[in-house]
Structure 1
Amino acid sequence: MKHPFDKFNLPDYLIEAIKEIGFDKPTEIQEKVIPVVKKGRDIIGQSQTGSGKTHAFLLPLFNQIDPKKAEVQVVITAPSRELAEQLANAATQLASHSPEEINVQTIIGGTDKNRLIQKLQHSQPQVVIGTPGRLLDVIESNDLRIHTSQYMVVDEADMTLDMGFLEDVDKIATRLPEKGKMLVFSATVPQKLQPFLKKYMHSPIVIEVENKQIIADTVENWLISTKGKNKIELIHQLLTIGQPYMALVFANTKEYVDDIAHQLKKKGLKVAVIHGGITSRERRRVMRQIQNLEFQYVVATDLAARGIDIEGISHVINAEVPQDLDYFVHRVGRTGRNQLSGIAITLFGPDDEQDIALIEKRGISFQPKEIKNGEVVDSYDRNRRDHRKGKNVNKTDFDPEIHGLRKKLKKNVKPGYKRKIERKKEEKRIRAFRLKSKK
């Protein structure tokens, strides 16, 4: 019986590997990326977490590997140790099915460098996966020789940029052969990434996969007001009322992560902390403990947690609305995986109204909740006053910038402020007209 991946003409061992991990059919990004990689084109792939992009590039790249050549043939960078390890695990699983040995080497911080150098001096791996800093280190020392590699993958490019690693990736890319192919994958493609893309990519194919279902239908998406409440007390209540299997609490800064964790520990909870301020050794130890389910509660920042792929996270709590709204989907996507049920809870105050409205504009709906008598119960719609007055509330036309200006105007009328609102409205109308004219 034919397997759905047979249409890509992959070797038998890759089909066996796919069967072992239970892939029933290709995802949308796999359908689009695999044939293009096989044609030898540069690719910019834009897709969200959980779209299947890892195997979208690993499968066709393994298809190109010649096991007889003991030289580097594929270089893959990831911005965090956790992400690099996940990629390496996926690549090692594919390699384990190959009839001929394919050497996959992980190169990340926090590991024994001398032992790594000894291995590299003994033999060069065919597939190299690592974090930019450590990769560049062994490339510049000439222990890892990537001039033979025909492919370079930059995974999570936007996160690489955010964490300040793009310069290292740039230096790595200069060591590749001129005719080597570049595959760049990213949830978003920020403007600051464009110079890098233009420098190394030749007529790239842009493959964009929309995340049609932004939040899994197995996830309940709650919204709870913090007005007049102690936020950390509220978090403690939410963690202890429902007895989550495992809860992940997000905050925007490492300082606030530490504060939340400290307060929760004082209340008797065993809490793990993950942020960029802890040492690599400590971080690896904590990650092992989390994977072994030694912690029920984890408090983390966005960049530190983006690489965490823990089975069975039942609750995600946003202690703060993320500063970059794209991270909202990354956070909530940590629960409700593999058709398991999950609860995502966002705490918000009056200053977060505009951000909540912007999230709703993306097609995400919230269930208003509150805590009463030790239980989470349904609450009222925060826009209820507008509905009661019979106003025509159209969220797609909601402009948070003008809304914010109006709120300020009500609080404190300054000379010229009304004119500023009208000017903003006129600018919006002109932009909308120009966009319409271009279509």
Structure 2
Amino acid sequence: MLFTDFNFKPFINDTLEKIRFKTATPVQEKLIPIALNGRDIVGESKTGSGKTHTFLLPIFQNIDPTIDGVQAVITAPSRELATQIYQAAMVFTQFDGNIRISNFVGGTDKKRQIEKLASNQPHIVIGTPGRILDLIDAQALKTYTASMFVVDEADMTLDMGFLSEVDKIAGTFDKKVQMLVFSATIPQKLQPFLKKYLNQPVMEKIATKTVISDTIDNWVFSTKGRGNNGTILEILQTLNPYLAMIFTNTKERADELHRFLANNGFKVAKIHGGVPPRERKRIMKAVQNLDYQFVVATDLAARGIDIEGVSHIINDGIPRDLEFFVHRVGRTGRNGMSGTAITLYQPSDDAAIHELEKMGISFTPKVIKNNEIVDSYDRDRRNKREKTREALDITMIGLVKKKKKQIKPAYKKKIGWEIDKQKKAKKRIEGRAQGRAERKAKRQSF
């Protein structure tokens, strides 16, 4: 479906043409018409599916610049995501300068914002729940006039503990306000909030054939007992990526890896919750300007932040919350472009990888040989070999369990004898069955 089929206002079509948006994504095609009809929506779709413009376009279609007051409020769980939504929205003001948009996030000058709001209320408010609520409580931001309220990345909002702030913001609106909730997943703990504020919402889960984009090559590298630093260094030197994001599970590990790569001559940035907000903002701008080829980040940057041109994702470790694996990988392969995701693993990670495979994610084992990345052996070959062995009976299971205790000298021999015993017993049973089948066939031939 083309964007021109929605019959948007001229300034919206002009903006979409400038940013080269021609064809709507599945989530946009499905939900934009519903939003334009004024219905409450709970939209669930994978990261990178185009949720941001799914709510921005109906908002701009309904905005009336002649009305002085807040008409739409959008909350996002992180400063970076809120700023990204703000930047996407500001593009539309190039063709209609009468629309006022404000971005309110933590780490900025609240006193100055309050002073500005005293004489000028924005039409569209975008920001983090905490700062928006602070401005409401200070009686500076008049959100009660809004007709649309968007909660973006609702599951992350819940995970980060901001749902109570969003609840209080929602309580300032008129009952007729249209609410749009967007998220990659809709956890059970979010249900009370949805039932409290949404009026007979349209619940839409945009199904996808794959959990991650089919334009992404998903590789795994075994560290084989060596440190991750050396493996990552070798991968980066071999690939020389256009722009790579390397995800770590902790801020401390991000700092360590950042130092290691910088000491090895890489121009590398880092983004995590311990970096001051103003510095994070500067780094994000520098990354978007391609001043850095490598970015080390925690999961703070995995949700919603869209850095254009990310060619490679490297997982220094599998995230504790496996849902974040999808969000990390979703930073590449966006808008139909190709990308590569690389995950480092060790034997203790097998259970987590199997859980990811159950989610529909497939991996291709890779290894570096002669300065080239080539296919490795099947990661599951050991498991497949084990499955071909005869099933252990109760006696065998008991013997194997004894291995956890003190192993006697004759342990291995005893196991071997038991396996031979089972093989012979199975062979006798199979022989008898074959003999019966042959005798039966012989009788039937007469």
Return the TM-score normalized by structure 2: 0.83
Q: After superposition, give the CA deviation of every residue in 1:310-346 in whole Å (9 maximum; x if it has no partner).
A: 2222221111111122221211121233444322111
The AA in structure 1 aligned to 2:357 is E
Classify 1:410/1:185 alpha carbon distance in 2 versus 1 (closer, same or farther; 3 Å).
Answer: farther
State the distance in 1 between where 2:356 and 2:387 align: 24
2:27 paired with 1:23:
no
Q: After superposition, give the CA deviation of every residue in 1:373-401 in whole Å (9 maximum; x if it has no partner).
A: 44322210021245457749xxxxxxxxx
State the distance in 2 between where 1:411 and 1:35 align: 63
Structure 2: runs of 5 or more not aligned:
390-396, 407-446
State the distance in 2 between where 1:23 and 1:228 align: 47
Aligned to 1:280: 277
Q: After superposition, give the CA deviation of every residue in 1:133-157 in whole Å (9 maximum; x if it has no partner).
A: 1111111111110111111100001
Equivalences for residues 182-201 of structure 1 within 5 A? 182-201=179-198
Query: Tell me, what secondary structure is at the counterpart of 1:248?
Result: strand
Please report how far the alpha carbon of residue 410 of structure 1 lies from its aligned counterpart in structure 2 after TM superposition.
8.4
Aligned to 1:412: 404
2:124 paired with 1:127:
yes
Equivalent of 1:68 in 52, 66, 69:
66
Classify 1:4/1:308 alpha carbon distance in 2 versus 1 (closer, same or farther; 3 Å).
Answer: closer
Equivalent of 1:174 in 168, 171, 175:
171
Query: Tell me, what secondary structure is at the counterpart of 2:53?
Result: helix
The AA in structure 2 aligned to 1:5 is F
Equivalences for residues 24-103 of structure 1 within 5 A? 24-98=22-96, 101-103=98-100
Contact 1:80 1:307 in 2 (8 A): no
The AA in structure 2 aligned to 1:291 is Q
State the distance in 2 between where 1:69 and 1:361 align: 52
Classify 1:124/1:372 alpha carbon distance in 2 versus 1 (closer, same or farther; 3 Å).
Answer: same
The AA in structure 1 aligned to 2:254 is V
State the distance in 1 between where 2:262 and 2:16 align: 43
Contact 1:274 1:305 in 2 (8 A): no
Classify 1:268/1:104 alpha carbon distance in 2 versus 1 (closer, same or farther; 3 Å).
Answer: same
Structure 1: runs of 5 or more not aligned:
393-404, 415-439
Please report how far the alpha carbon of residue 28 of structure 1 lies from its aligned counterpart in structure 2 after TM superposition.
1.4
Aligned to 1:379: 376
The AA in structure 2 aligned to 1:288 is K
Q: After superposition, give the CA deviation of every residue in 1:333-361 in whole Å (9 maximum; x if it has no partner).
A: 21233444322111111111122112222
Q: After superposition, give the CA deviation of every residue in 1:5-32 in whole Å (9 maximum; x if it has no partner).
A: 3443322222222222222222211122
The AA in structure 1 aligned to 2:26 is E
Contact 2:42 2:204 in 1 (8 A): yes
Contact 2:210 2:360 in 1 (8 A): no
State the distance in 2 between where 1:102 and 1:173 align: 23
Return the TM-score normalized by structure 1: 0.84
Aligned to 2:340: 343
Query: Tell me, what secondary structure is at the counterpart of 2:118?
Result: helix
Contact 1:159 1:303 in 2 (8 A): no
Please report how far the alpha carbon of residue 275 of structure 1 lies from its aligned counterpart in structure 2 after TM superposition.
1.0
Aligned to 1:208: 205
Classify 1:214/1:130 alpha carbon distance in 2 versus 1 (closer, same or farther; 3 Å).
Answer: same
Q: After superposition, give the CA deviation of every residue in 1:243-268 in whole Å (9 maximum; x if it has no partner).
A: 11221111111122122222323333
The AA in structure 1 aligned to 2:202 is I
Contact 1:85 1:106 in 2 (8 A): yes
Classify 1:209/1:275 alpha carbon distance in 2 versus 1 (closer, same or farther; 3 Å).
Answer: same
Equivalent of 2:245 in 243, 248, 272:
248
Aligned to 1:321: 318
State the distance in 2 between where 1:340 and 1:195 align: 38
Q: After superposition, give the CA deviation of every residue in 1:163-183 in whole Å (9 maximum; x if it has no partner).
A: 121111111111111221211
Equivalences for residues 222-301 of structure 1 within 5 A? 222-301=219-298
